[in-house]
Amino acid sequence: MRLTTAGESHGKALVAIIEGLPAQLAIDEDQINAELALRQQGYGRSARQTIETDRVEILSGVRDGKTLGSPVALLVMNRDYENCKEYMSASKIGESGKVSHAVKSPRPGHADLSGMLKFKTEDARDVLERASARETAVRVAAGAVFKSYIAALGVQISGFVKEVGGVKDGGMYAFDELSRAKESPLGMLDREAEKRAMDKLSTLKEAGNTAGGIVEIRVKGLKSGFGSCMTYAEKLDARLAGALMSIQAAKGVEFGGGFSLASLSGREAHGAIAYENGAFIREGDLSGGIEGGMSNGGEIVLRVAMKPIPTLKNGLPSVDFTTKEKSVAASERSDVCAIFAFERIAEAVVAEVLACAVKERLGGDVLSELTARYKLLD
């Protein structure tokens, strides 16, 4: 199973191609669009979300609402392209068009400067258009397909926002409670904490500043043995961490007890194993549902840290790439905080990794083969 995406932030469209899906998997276009709509929501989003109304178009690989076993291609159009085609067209652009929208002062914390040096360009737009978090729209669309794939096995993914700009939701929630987070402005479950977080974001917005946060993602229903301890490349937690770190602005991932385990003793950190009602269980498991690089049959629990958005209304000090003189970093239209969307993206990325791990272990050209093989597992 493989996902490839293409497209620029203000280009004509975003595209995703998924290879390796079995035939006969039901694909619900409305479900994909619902995920896209959630990605655009959340307190602190920018005016861009009022311009775009993301909708998916399925270009190939699906007929009569079901996959054919061929590559599935998904398209999400960029409505804002109409306002930008003068300088974003794939055709040759006149010098006036390029110069008028060139970005010469790289933004600290963004891909601008490293990309300009790497790709030998004096215009950061050649870099920032692809590095932009706008790319995640089509990843969320693909993630909805991967969710359908693993849902056929009874595997569910959900999550919530645990922290925004230092304001924490310290609650402990059952998996079934997490769906309530999608109904709130910031995706937090503690409404009092959410209000304090929103007040902080309002203050930051007035100051032209931004915030990050932490999301918690949970997976329920995945049986043991996905991933492997035999090679480092197959370790499920390593693959999840690597994929989650590919999300724009992600700066940290932890599983279960995470960094707090470092301060515990072995007896405190590792849950006892017992055997009840014909199954092995773990008591007080802080591993996050993954041991030795493999799922252990329990809930997978992980958290992802998002740094504050680097594009500020009042740009940080920078340097003009061409003249080398002091300047102010470029200011594109930006969110104050996109943590609600970040949670949706993290769910999509987790779904992709799990779908790949399932396909590798179980194979199956047709969905019924996959589900039959899954039932045989312990």
Q: Return the bridge partners of 342, or none.
A: none
Per the structure block, which two tokens stand in for 99? Answer: 């110069």
Per the structure block, which two tokens stand in for 374? Answer: 């899954």
CATH (domain of 187): 3.60.150.10
CA distance 358 to 19: 14
Q: Based on the structure, what is the number of domains in the chain? A: 1
pLDDT 10s digits, 14-63: 999 999 999 999 999 999 999 999 999 999 887 656 667 899 999 999 99
User: Residue 275 sits in which domain range?
Assistant: 2-375
Could you give the C-alpha distances from 290 to 32, 105, 162, in angstroms and in order?
Answer: 28, 44, 21
Q: What is the DSSP letter of 283?
A: E
CA distance 329 to 107: 5
pLDDT 10s digits, 259-312: 999 999 999 999 899 999 988 988 888 999 999 999 999 999 999 999 999 988
CA distance 123 to 306: 27
Contacts 24+ apart (CB under 8 A), 355-359: 355/1, 355/146, 355/149, 355/150, 356/1, 356/2, 356/20, 356/239, 357/226, 357/227, 357/236, 357/239, 358/149, 358/150, 358/153, 358/226, 359/1, 359/20
Task: Indicate the residue type of 372.
Answer: A
CB atoms within 10 A of CB 246: 10
Name the nearest CA neighbour of 160 among 179, 147, 174, 143.
179
Consecutive sets of 10 residues in the chain, 378 residues long: mean pLDDT of each? 97 97 98 97 77 91 98 96 90 69 93 97 95 96 98 98 97 97 96 97 94 98 97 97 97 97 94 90 91 96 96 91 94 85 98 98 98 95
Strand 62-63 relative to strand 167-168, pairing? unpaired
CB atoms within 10 A of CB 190: 19
Counting Cα atoms < 13 Å in the Cβ hemisphere of 114 gives 5
